[in-house]
Structure 1
């Protein structure tokens, strides 16, 4: 089972490491982890996508809630939320296939952010399915390198 956990934490050294270590002791796999400051520079939001059985996820969520630096924990999987991930992909660019690549970039609303003699680098933000779709379309062209940010997420609405 895949779950998305969002935590607000005091912005201080070691919080993410302590949280990740707790997951390492459980039977829960971290699929992605993203952390950054909120509108208050003293507070960070940590979004963790995990995979594991329901009991293990519930146990690790309780562990996170009990950490001293944690202010609030939400299991977004049980709520309506919006999520995004950033991906940067460097792909081989052959002159005869440039038009095809540009069409793919346009369809996925990917932006060219760098070009070399033999490669083009694009960035795109979207949900996991959209990112996976872009990657799948670019594989036949030859992905030279890639970096994904991990999912960030917020509850929808006024909460």
Structure 2
């Protein structure tokens, strides 16, 4: 099962490595991890997406909560949340495919951020299903390079 874990941590050197190490020592693979400052520059939010059973995630989140650099940990899979991911894709382009690609960009609301003689670079943000769908649609045209940010997420509502 995919779990999305959100952790507020003190913004200090080595915290990201220490947190990631907790998953490795528990033999849990991190599918994506993103970390950045919050509204308070002394605090960062780390969003970690893992594929693991409930018991493993409970053990890891309990372990994380015991660390002095951790302020709060939430397993968002047990709550309502909104998530997004950013993807940058450099695609092969020629005269015959430009119109088709532009139609796909319009449907997915992707934005052109760069062009070369033979390539076009686009950005898209959305939930994982939208990003996966976009990649599946443009893959036949030729993906030269691709970068995904990993999932970021927040709880819904007033919590």
> Structure 1 CA distance, aligned partners of 2:22 and 2:13?
16
Distance in 1 (CA, whole Å) between partners of 2:100 and 2:33 is 33
Q: Look up the match of 1:3.
A: 3
Matched, 1:48 2:48: yes
Q: Give 1:10-159 correspondences, 5 Å limit.
A: 10-159=10-159
SS in 1 for 2:154: strand
Secondary structure of 2:97's match?
helix
Shift of 1:27: 2.4
Where structure 1 has 5 or more consecutive residues not aligned to the other structure, the ranges are: none
Give per-residue Cα distances to partners, 1:11-56, cap 9 Å, x unaligned: 0001110000110111211010000000000000000000112211
C-alpha distance in 2 between matches for 1:42 and 1:116? 40
Q: 1:70-122, CA deviations, whole angstroms, 9 ceiling, x for partnerless residues?
A: 00001100000000000000000011110000000000000000000100000
CA distance in structure 2 between the partners assigned to 1:63 and 1:81 by the alignment: 23
The runs of at least 4 consecutive aligned structure 1 residues that moved more than 3 Å come to none
Q: Do the aligned residues in 2 keep the contact of 1:27 with 1:52 (CA within 8 Å)? A: no
TM-score for the superposition, normalised by structure 2:
0.98
What secondary structure is seen at the aligned counterpart in 2 of 1:56? helix
**TM-score, with length taken from structure 1:** 0.98
Q: Work out the number of aligned pairs and report it.
A: 159
Alignment gaps of 5+ in structure 2: none
